[in-house]
C-alpha cells in the first residue's frame, strides 16, 4: 500500500507524524506497534461512545414533548450524563 495513503489514514485516526514515522520508516518496512494501535483504538471507541450519548441527548431534547424541559425526567438524566461526559473529555 502507498505510504501516503497510510499516513492519511493514520492522521485520520489521530496518530502523530512522529508515531507513524516509527511504524512506517524503519529500514523501509512497515513495523506495526500493536500496543500503540490498541491504545488508539480504545481511545477512538471511548470517543465514539461519548458522541453517541451526546447525540442521543440532543435527539431527546429535539423530540421531547414537555414544554418546560426541566419537568422532563429523561431530560434531567441527559443533562447529568452530558456533564459526566464533558468532565471526561
pLDDT for the residue 41: 94
pLDDT tens across the length of the chain (89 residues): 577 888 888 889 988 888 887 777 656 667 778 899 999 999 999 889 888 888 888 888 888 888 888 888 888 888 888 788 777 66
Spatial neighbors of 40 by CB under 8 A, at least 6 apart, are: 13, 14, 15
d(Cα 34, Cα 27) in Å, to the nearest integer? 18
d(Cα 61, Cα 52) in Å, to the nearest integer? 14
pLDDT for the residue 51: 87
pLDDT for the residue 25: 63
Spatial neighbors of 18 by CB under 8 A, at least 6 apart, are: none
Q: How many CB atoms lie within 10 A of CB 78?
A: 21
Grid coordinates in use for 86? 464533558
Amino acid at each position: 500500500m502507498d505510504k501516503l495513503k497510510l499516513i492519511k489514514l493514520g492522521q485520520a485516526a489521530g496518530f502523530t507524524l512522529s508515531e507513524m514515522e516509527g511504524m512506517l520508516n524503519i529500514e523501509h518496512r512497515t513495523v506495526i506497534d500493536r500496543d500503540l494501535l490498541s491504545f488508539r483504538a480504545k481511545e477512538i471507541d471511548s470517543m465514539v461512545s461519548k458522541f453517541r450519548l451526546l447525540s442521543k441527548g440532543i435527539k431527546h431534547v429535539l423530540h421531547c414533548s414537555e414544554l418546560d424541559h426541566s419537568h422532563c425526567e429523561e431530560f434531567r438524566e441527559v443533562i447529568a450524563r452530558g456533564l459526566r461526559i464533558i468532565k471526561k473529555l
